[in-house]
Structure 1
Amino acid sequence: MSDDTKDNNDEINGLNNTVNTLFQSYVQEIFLNKDSKSLKKDRKNAAQSEIGRFVRHIGGERDVKSVIPSEISEYSEDFIKRTAQPDPEKLKSVKKFLVYLASNNYTEINLSQHLRLRRSRRSSRLKSTSDRKVNLTQNGYNDMTKELSKLQKERIKITSEIEKAAADGDVRENAPLEAARESQGMVMSKIREIESTLKIAEIIDSKTDKTKVQIGSKVLLIQSNSNKKLEYQLVEPREASPLHKKISIGSPVGEAILGRRVGDEVNVSTPQGQITYRVEKTS
């Protein structure tokens, strides 16, 4: 891009160059000039289509300076998940667009280095567990669905905050912007975790054997030496919530009572020593 062209773009858009505006400029400069005639039409269309998908994924109307590395990595994962046989050329076209943004000083850093075709540790882990179903209670499933909806709304709000903070001055010394980006990263991590859980979730059948402690069972335990009563619901680790008396099957008590029946006694190792519980009731 010539200096005159870049200056004109800056005058039109100010410091707030949107991703979509720069995408259009890139298409005009790279794909529609005479030097691009050597590119095959199908390759050109595929490249434009993939870059367009990328722009929609991260939000076309936002200031390009608000885009962060984690969002680029997220797009890489999304690309792998939705493509049975990933085409490196498609991802390369997006990488070239990101290089273009950096070389013309539209972004503070070269975001292209965060766009990789290889699977991240997280996506590999999700793939390895994708065949294993997660048993959730109906209430647990409903709670996760509500939490996901809440986080998605929060994500939209944070994106707006990032755009506003990025417009307030030098992005290199902008505490509100950094705080918003950090919040965005945490929210996105939670969203991905819940989505991956719901994707492989199976609702526990409420008509299972009520005399046996299983995932989803509500159990009344009696502590032998004190007759203290404890009530828990046994759940998968992802649904565990001590505040709501939901204990994980991987916890010491959970492991001990799983598969037991009413009247059985179990010994649980604790920092205070061995504690014996009797399964008084299960439902």
Structure 2
Amino acid sequence: MENIEHNPTLAEAANAFLSNLPPQERSKTQAEISKFVRWLGSSRQVQDVNPVDVASYGEQIIPSAVKPLKSFLTYIWQKGFSKINLAPHLRARKTSSKTAILQQSSQVRPTLTAQGYARLKAELTSLKNQRSQVIEEIQRAAADKDFRENAPLAAAREQKSYLEGRIKELEATLNLARIVEEDRDTSRAKVGDTVVLRDLSSGKEFIYTLVDPREANPARGKLSVASPLGRVILDKEKGQTVEVDAPAGTFRCHIDNITRANEQEQLQANRR
């Protein structure tokens, strides 16, 4: 599995990493690696992953997830897939702090972009359909009277529990959500704005749309305003330089441009 191109996607690098592990270690590691890859985007090239991405992910995981992920990040650096050793930038929050943040987030009325609201609504519909299918799977699996080693039944019940939790979360978010106002002042970066950043150390450009944590999706360039980078960009103006504190040091970025969602749509329409 080592025969992969020098600029692989995250999915390709993860498959290569996992294929080199002993079977027992692979089974313990695969779930965490898969979640990390999905969160960042499986088709995203490894060289495009930056320290801020890794630090942001670290805020969402428990300490036990750090070790396998650091092993993977060290692997992609040693193989030359990444020019930066990203492993030092991964650090899990303490459980108590993470719990407090989640509780605080759940009490704040979410502010979503129109696109984000529509996407979450579509996800809710899809999950409800999936739940109906899983219930049927549970009924079929339960017909097997030997519950001791009924793996399909256990898997279906676990999936149903996950779906119901996510459905409740989405319903609460959509019921409370307010949509970003398109005609507001955009001299400062707000939720829904697209921000062009330039890393002052490397000169590399990054484009993010600032979104509520519930709408965050790094694979699509949706940056949570609760993430380390999102927090320092929020309410800043074009031309300002911001500093992002990460476990391995401080990164300085320049805000090259800020545009609203409707301005982005107009630009895309003009290009057609």
- Contact 1:221/1:229 (8 A) holds in 2: yes
TM superposition shift of 1:171 = 3.5
Query: Does 1:157 find its partner at 2:133?
Result: yes
What is the letter of the counterpart of residue 160 of structure 1? Answer: E
Q: Which residue of 2 aligns with 1:216?
A: 192
Change (3 A) 1:241 1:269: same
- Alignment counterpart, residue 247 of structure 2, candidates 267, 271, 276: 271
Distance 2:132 2:147 in 1: 20
Q: Map Cα deviations across residues 33-54 of structure 1 (whole Å, 9 max, x no partner).
A: xxxxxxxxxxxxxxxxxxxxxx
TM superposition shift of 1:198 = 0.8
Change (3 A) 1:236 1:127: closer
In structure 1, stretches of 5+ residues that fail to align are 1-125
Distance 1:258 1:166 in 2: 51
TM-score by length of 2: 0.54
- Alignment counterpart, residue 193 of structure 1, candidates 166, 169, 178: 169
Q: Which residue of 1 aligns with 2:224?
A: 248
Change (3 A) 1:218 1:129: closer
TM superposition shift of 1:129 = 7.4
What is the letter of the counterpart of residue 264 of structure 1? Answer: Q
Change (3 A) 1:187 1:228: same
Q: Which residue of 2 aligns with 1:145?
A: 121
Alignment of 1:48-127 (within 5 A): none
Distance 2:240 2:202 in 1: 17
Secondary structure (helix, strand or coil) at the match of 1:230 reads strand
- Alignment counterpart, residue 230 of structure 1, candidates 206, 209, 214: 206
Q: Map Cα deviations across residues 45-70 of structure 1 (whole Å, 9 max, x no partner).
A: xxxxxxxxxxxxxxxxxxxxxxxxxx
Distance 1:142 1:248 in 2: 17
Distance 1:266 1:251 in 2: 14
- Contact 1:148/1:194 (8 A) holds in 2: yes
Give the number of the structure whose alpha-carbon radius of gyration is greater. 1
TM superposition shift of 1:149 = 0.7
Q: Map Cα deviations across residues 215-258 of structure 1 (whole Å, 9 max, x no partner).
A: 11100012223322111011111111111111111111111111
TM superposition shift of 1:271 = 3.3
TM-score by length of 1: 0.52
Distance 2:104 2:246 in 1: 33
Secondary structure (helix, strand or coil) at the match of 1:261 reads coil
Q: Which residue of 1 aligns with 2:178?
A: 202
Distance 2:114 2:133 in 1: 29
Higher relative contact order (CA 8 A, sep 6+): 2
Q: Number of residue pairs matched?
A: 159
Change (3 A) 1:149 1:259: same
Q: Which residue of 1 aligns with 2:142?
A: 166
RMSD in angstroms over aligned alpha carbons? 2.3
TM superposition shift of 1:194 = 0.9
Query: Does 1:136 find its partner at 2:86?
Result: no
Change (3 A) 1:257 1:181: same
TM superposition shift of 1:274 = 1.7
Distance 1:127 1:279 in 2: 31
Q: Stretches of 4+ moved more than 6 A in 1? A: 126-131
- Alignment counterpart, residue 159 of structure 2, candidates 171, 183, 188: 183
What is the letter of the counterpart of residue 130 of structure 2? Answer: E
Q: Map Cα deviations across residues 102-129 of structure 1 (whole Å, 9 max, x no partner).
A: xxxxxxxxxxxxxxxxxxxxxxxx9997
Secondary structure (helix, strand or coil) at the match of 1:171 reads coil
Q: Map Cα deviations across residues 141-167 of structure 1 (whole Å, 9 max, x no partner).
A: 111111111110000001011111111
